[in-house]
């Protein structure tokens, strides 16, 4: 892919003759390669440099997209700590700098991201570090929560339903408030917070109708009523769906 025309500010002067590459944040969906969009596959088939997240383990994003990546493409692993700390900030800055080196050489770069890049995606930080100096293009992907409702045979919302999306690590009072005032509450990043969420659902009389689903559209996908899930289960890539039928 050819680099793009880009104005640069250097010593107070705008240069219009500078050629820079473009960074693509590519959403690859939750796990099933068949959910990769046509647009994503078309771009992947042209890129010669592809960064992919691993978070210290095998890359789900790379596994999803691999069959659409050029055989001669250079694959660069982004091993980023899963939880926020100074090391995570430094890792993002390091990979953003590496991406900039390619862009400055007029080379387009792809950055894979599970789900959708702008929905709690690992690409958000990369985007923020690049967008002031380089052109960034986001290629939407199907997020896990959109696919989850298919697997639990339910709908997210209809008519004037209110929908809340909240992380499991959020303050317990706020989670209770969202569940109590929303027709549908989707709780993500459950992991070690499972016991807390189960207690809240129990207190609100919604445990038996709540659903748990993990590793959506992946080989080891699992779903069941929340009441059937052991408190000892710790799976980061899991969500809980709570439908508040009391509001209907």
Residues 6+ apart with CB under 8 A from 48: 70, 72, 73, 74, 107, 108
pLDDT of residue 1: 53
Number of domain units in the chain = 2
pLDDT of residue 5: 43
* 70, 186: one domain: no
Q: Is 77 helix (H, G, I), strand (E, B) or coil?
A: strand
Residue 75 class from Cβ within 10 Å (0-12 exposed, 13-18 middle, 19+ buried)? middle
Residue 187: give its domain's CATH number.
3.30.950.10
Structural domain harbouring 192: 145-247
Q: Which residue, of 142, 173, 196, is where some domain finishes?
A: 142
* 36, 65: one domain: yes
* 114, 180: one domain: no
pLDDT of residue 56: 64
Please report how the helices 86-104 and 123-130 are oriented relative to each other, as an axis angle in degrees rounded to 10. Answer: 50
pLDDT of residue 18: 60
Evaluate whether 59 touches 237 at the Cβ level (below 8 Å). Answer: no
Q: Which residue, of 122, 142, 162, is where some domain finishes?
A: 142
Residue 136: give its domain's CATH number.
3.40.1010.10
* 22, 70: one domain: yes
* 136, 232: one domain: no
- CA dist 52 and 26 (Å) reads 10
* 89, 129: one domain: yes
**Per-residue model confidence as pLDDT tens for the chain (248 residues):** 544 444 444 443 334 236 799 999 999 999 999 999 999 999 999 999 999 998 767 889 999 999 999 999 999 999 988 777 888 899 999 999 999 999 999 999 999 999 999 999 989 999 999 999 999 999 999 999 999 999 999 999 999 999 999 999 999 999 999 999 999 999 999 988 999 999 999 999 999 999 999 999 998 999 999 999 998 877 878 999 999 988 87
* 93, 154: one domain: no
* 97, 162: one domain: no
- CA dist 180 and 238 (Å) reads 21
Scan for tokens 């659903």, then name that residue: 211
* 137, 61: one domain: yes
Residues 6+ apart with CB under 8 A from 149: 155, 156, 241
* 124, 157: one domain: no
* 170, 114: one domain: no
Q: Which residue, of 124, 142, 160, is where some domain finishes?
A: 142
* 16, 31: one domain: yes
């Amino acid at each position: 892919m050819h680099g793009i025309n880009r104005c640069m500010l250097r010593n107070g002067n705008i240069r219009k003759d500078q050629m820079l590459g473009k960074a693509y944040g590519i959403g690859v969906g939750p796990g099933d390669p068949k959910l990769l969009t046509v647009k994503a596959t078309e771009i992947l088939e042209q890129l010669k440099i592809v960064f992919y997240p691993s978070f210290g383990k095998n890359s789900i994003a790379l596994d999803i997209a691999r069959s659409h990546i050029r055989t001669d493409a250079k694959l660069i692993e982004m091993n980023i700590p899963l939880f926020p700390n100074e090391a995570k900030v430094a890792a993002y800055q390091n990979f953003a700098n590496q991406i900039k080196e390619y862009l400055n050489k007029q080379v387009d770069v792809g950055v894979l991201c599970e789900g959708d890049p702008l929905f709690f995606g690992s690409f958000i930080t990369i985007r923020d570090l690049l967008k002031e100096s380089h052109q960034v293009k986001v290629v939407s992907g199907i997020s896990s929560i959109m696919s989850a409702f298919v697997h639990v045979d339910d709908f997210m919302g209809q008519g004037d339903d209110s929908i809340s999306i909240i992380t499991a690590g959020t303050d317990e009072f706020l989670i209770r408030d969202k569940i109590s005032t929303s027709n549908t509450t989707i709780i993500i990043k459950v992991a070690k917070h499972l016991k807390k969420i189960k207690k809240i659902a129990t207190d609100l009389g919604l445990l038996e109708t709540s659903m748990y689903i993990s590793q959506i559209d992946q080989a080891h996908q699992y779903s069941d009523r929340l009441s059937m899930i052991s408190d000892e289960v710790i799976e980061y890539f899991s969500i809980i769906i709570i439908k508040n039928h009391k509001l209907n």
